[in-house]
Chain A
């Protein structure tokens, strides 16, 4: 069967990712202390997406999965984006 584990992610890599995640957490807290107005939410979301990407790629091992799961994840995320985005056709212009 294909798709079986071919790569083992070492402890070192995982720890490095964890450190990066902690730094990004500190960054989010920092960003939202600044006077950025509406960009504050945007900044927080960008950092959160980065963190999410790291978790998915390394902890959830998406990095070593084939294209299929990545495509599926993309479908799910795009679907959610459409659900939220299209609602704003109403909310923004009511």
Chain B
């Protein structure tokens, strides 16, 4: 079905970017709410931010940035026909994703253990702005975490294709698009991190 009978790599990339725009706007809705409620409850947001562990947040930032580096290097490796190295780098990316999710898991469960979760008695009896802060925190990091899981799954599937693939050109397009998605996950976190963990 491809135009002129050969694969149109740019079309695939254009389509992927368009899809990434929808992701940016999806998170954009949450950032919109964040902006509005930050203006209304600055003190409560600072109070909420202080309850989050900025060390863990920073650790996760470093992990995601490193994962993005590995993903980007994976593309370079495949472009240089070093497909074994590409697979290795992708595995490193996925490992980072797992580390990110593990830290996220401990963060969430500690918070939930302290009775801080949407609709909890503690938040209901506390100041309204704090409840809003944590509801937004859970929604944003929850949806982001879902994207991490999807992205890691996608990269795992792509690394299998690259490892056993016969058509290097097709795999390169696939890998480029998969890593684009992964970088978006990183990009969103770059904004989540200061807004939630560092607004003291």
Contact = CB atoms under 8 A, between A and B. Distances in A.
B186 interface: yes
Interface string B156-200: 000000000000000010001001100100110011011100111
Size class of the contact patch on chain B: 35 or more
B10 A55 contact: no
A52 B194 contact: no
Contacts of A56: 183, 187
Contact of B17 (A14, A44, A72, A83): A72
Size class of the contact patch on chain A: 35 or more
Interface stretch (B28-36, B117-125, B126-134, B141-149): B28-36
Contacts of B52: none
A52 B58 CA distance: 16
A67 interface: no
A14 B198 contact: no
A10 B38 CA distance: 41
B199 A44 contact: yes
B199 A55 contact: no
A84 B190 contact: no
B183 A55 contact: yes
A58 B187 CA distance: 12
Contacts of B31: 84
Contact of A44 (B24, B179, B198): B198
Given A76-B25, A79-B25, A5 B183 contact: no
B153 interface: no
Interface of A: 1-5, 8-11, 14-15, 17-18, 21-22, 25, 28-29, 32-33, 40-41, 44-45, 47-48, 51-52, 55-56, 58-61, 65, 68-69, 72-73, 76-77, 79-80, 83-84, 87-88, 91-92
Interface of B: 6, 8-10, 13-14, 17-18, 21, 24-25, 28-29, 31-32, 35-36, 38-40, 54, 58, 61-62, 65-66, 68-69, 71-73, 75-76, 79-80, 172, 176, 179-180, 183, 186-187, 190-191, 193-195, 198-200
15 contacts: A4-B10, A11-B73, A14-B76, A15-B69, A28-B198, A29-B58, A32-B199, A48-B194, A55-B68, A55-B190, A60-B180, A76-B24, A83-B25, A87-B35, A88-B36
Given A44-B198, A59-B186, 17 more contacts: A4-B9, A4-B10, A5-B79, A25-B65, A28-B193, A29-B54, A33-B200, A40-B199, A48-B194, A55-B190, A59-B68, A59-B72, A73-B21, A76-B24, A80-B25, A87-B36, A91-B39
